[in-house]
Amino acid sequence: MHLTFVSVEEFYFALTLAVRTLEEITTPGLAETVGTQLKQEFGQASTVAAASQNTYNYVFRVKEVDNSPNPQLVVSISDWQGNVRISSDFGWTLDEERKPSRTEKFEQRQAFSQQVKDYFQQELGILLE
């Protein structure tokens, strides 16, 4: 797995309507710590937060992970009401009407979430527990 940061200028082109929450981590103080670490590593977040319950959202394109039938895969890490939220379109696709629907990979979302957390810890030193 390899993650590539999506800047605020590219954000609109990266996300799809199929991005859904993978996991929400409720450890007190973690959202602030993670936000500080992400800002140090990547600078400005991928999106500008519009509400007080959400102050950052860093988006990444994921390489080296099969998300068929989709050609790309996206992960975002954000704060939401004081918690850390990891979201992705892994296991989801858009149908002909552009509505999200599950793929056969949907059952693997928990394992994929753990891969994402491991990546953040090993590659960026960000512990998501």
Question: How many Cβ atoms are within 10 Å of 84's Cβ, its own excluded?
Answer: 23
Residue 34: per-residue pLDDT: 96
Write down the domain spans for the chain: 2-122
Is the pLDDT score of 129 beyond 70? yes
The DSSP-derived string for 16-81 is: -TT-EEEEEE--TTHHHHHHHHHHHHH-S-SS---BTTB--EEEEEEESS--TT-S--EEEEEEET
Residue 43: per-residue pLDDT: 94
Tens digit of pLDDT for each residue in 17-69? 788 999 999 999 999 999 999 999 999 998 876 667 888 999 999 999 999 99
* pTM for this prediction: 0.89
Mean residue pLDDT across the chain: 90
